[in-house]
Amino acid sequence: MSVIIRPIEQKDKEEWINLWTGPKGYIEFYKSSDKITPEITETTFKRFLDPQNPTYCNIAVNSETGKLIGFATYLTHTNTWALEDSCYLNDLFVSESNRLGGVGRKLIESVYEAADKLGCAKTYWHTQFENHRAQLLYVKVGVKDGFLKYSRPLKK
C-alpha cells in the first residue's frame, strides 16, 4: 500500500472525526467515549487549523483509495531545561485493517520532521504499560527514558 503523510486540512474533518470517535476508532480503543464530548472534538479539530495554536495533526492517506487511515497529533511547549521548545506526540492511531504496514512508523517520522522544522530539541510521548503492540514500534523509533507518569486524581 502506498501512503501519503500530510498535515490535516479542513476537508479531512469528517473522516478524521470518524477515526477519532467513530466505531473502532482511537477514543473507543482507549474506552473513553464517555470523556470526549462533541465540543472537545470540535475544539481539537479547530486547533489543528489555527496558526496561533501550537497543536498539529498529520494524517496518513491511502494514495490508491484517498481514504484517511491514520493520524498523529502533536503539540509544542517551552521547557525549563532547554532554550528550544519540546514536541509532545499526543495521539497516534492507524485504523485496524491498515496496521503492520509501516504507517505508524511513517507518522512518527513525520512528527520528528515537523519537530525539527518547529525548532524543537526533543520529541517525547507516553504509552500505556500494557500496550505491547505500540511498544514493538516505539523501541525501534525511540528510547525508553525511564520516567513514570503520574496525574492529579480527578476532582470529586
Ligand X SMILES: CC(C)(COP(=O)(O)OP(=O)(O)OC[C@H]1O[C@@H](n2cnc3c(N)ncnc32)[C@H](O)[C@@H]1OP(=O)(O)O)[C@@H](O)C(=O)NCCC(=O)NCCS
Best CA proximity match to 60, nearest among 17, 117, 102, 121:
102
Q: What CA–CA distance (Å, rounded) separates 62 from 145?
A: 33
The CA-to-CA distance between both ends of the chain, in Å, stands at 48
For 51, residues 6+ apart whose C-beta sits below 8 A from its C-beta are none
> Between residues 9 and 96, which has the closer beta carbon with respect to ligand X?
96
Instruction: By CB under 6 A, tell whether 25 contacts ligand X.
Output: no
Rule CB under 6 A: choose which of 105, 112, 118, 121 binds ligand X. Answer: 105
Which CB, 84 or 101, lies closer to ligand X?
Answer: 101
Binding piece for ligand X, criterion CB under 6 A, among 3-11, 13-21, 45-53, 88-96 = 88-96
Contacts to ligand X by CB under 6 A: 29, 92-94, 99-105, 127, 131, 133-134, 136-137, 140
